[in-house]
Copies of this chain bind each other. A is one copy, B any other.
Amino acid sequence: MRADAQRNRDRIVEVARAFFRAKGFDAVSMDEVAKGAEVGAGTLYRHFPTKESLYDAVLEAWAEKVNEAVDRALSPDASAREQLLTWLTDYAAMLTEHKGAAARITAALGDPGSPFAAKCTTYLNANQRVIDALDSALRPGVEAMQISRLVGGMAAVADNSELPADAVASMLEIVADGLLAP
């Protein structure tokens, strides 16, 4: 990739991240990203063929934090319920960090053709790690996909309705208790 193209790409992602963070996916237009990055619309689309693929690039670095969150949650000093709840809370918080991300990523969970497919795999693997670690403390037969959808769904609701943290927490407790072995 030519040096100027690389510079353009970097500037686009940087500008897009700031806009998406401030206003959420829907409220940001591709035009203002192009203008902000001082490139033509064609250049923007040469680097990112759709608005969603641009969003995916913006969420790149942030997705790497998922595995750290799993490590943090799986502390052997805590009860299984506490570990699970810590993870679900962190997970939901990360999903809610970017307005519009939770619903989009959760909707992409079953779709390998989505721009978010790589992100989905990361999440599913993270939830699988939690399932493996907590093992017999969990309801027999729970799948990573189920946890991903349950928490993703709650994060999407929290995002849409701009719920306060404690409203989210009380719903995640219900989900966590449902996930634990009877």
Contacts and interface: CB of A to CB of B under 8 A. Distances in A.
A176 interface: yes
- Chief secondary structure at chain A's binding surface: helix
Interface in A132-182: 139, 142, 146, 149-150, 152-154, 156-157, 160-161, 163, 170-171, 173-179, 182
A157 B146 contact: no
18 contacts: A103-B103, A103-B160, A106-B161, A107-B157, A107-B160, A110-B161, A110-B163, A139-B177, A149-B161, A150-B154, A150-B171, A150-B175, A152-B157, A153-B157, A156-B156, A156-B157, A177-B177, A177-B178
A162 B179 CA distance: 23
Interface of A: 103, 106-107, 109-111, 139, 142, 146, 149-150, 152-154, 156-157, 160-161, 163, 170-171, 173-179, 182
B150 A174 contact: yes
Contacts of A174: 139, 142, 146, 150, 175, 178-179
A178 to B, nearest CB: 3
A149 B139 contact: no
A107 B163 CA distance: 10
